[in-house]
Amino acid sequence: MEQREQILEKAEQLFMKVGIKSVSMDDLARHLGVSKKTLYQYFENKSDLVHKVLEAHIEREQAHCLTARDNSENAIAEMLEVTKFVLAHLRDLSPTTVYDLQKYYQPIYAMMENHHKRETVAQIEDNIVRGQKEGLYRKDVHPGIVARMYSNSSFLIVDEDIFPLREYDRETLLMQFVLHHIRGMATEKGLEFLEKNVRRERAN
Predicted pLDDT of residue 95 = 81
Model pLDDT for residues 130-189, shown as the tens digit of each residue: 999 999 999 999 999 999 999 989 888 888 889 988 899 888 999 999 999 999 999 999
Nearest-angstrom CA–CA distance, 200 and 47: 43
At 1 the pLDDT is: 56
- Short-list 69, 71, 59, 78, CA closest to 8: 59
If pLDDT is split at 50, 70 and 90, which confidence band does 91 have?
confident
Measured in residues, the chain has a length of 204
Q: For position 191, what pLDDT does the model report? A: 97
Give pLDDT, residue 111.
Answer: 86
Full-model pTM: 0.87
Which tens digit of pLDDT belongs to each residue from 41-75?
A: 999 999 999 999 999 988 888 899 999 999 999 99
Task: State the pLDDT at residue 28.
Answer: 92
Predicted local distance difference test score (pLDDT) of residue 94: 84
Cα separation, 43 vs 10, in Å, equals 14
How far apart (Å, rounded) are the C-alpha atoms in residues 99 and 149? 24
For each of the domains in the chain, give its residue range(s) and CATH number, in order of start.
54-203 (1.10.357.10)
pLDDT tens digits, one per residue of 102-123: 899 999 989 888 887 889 999 9
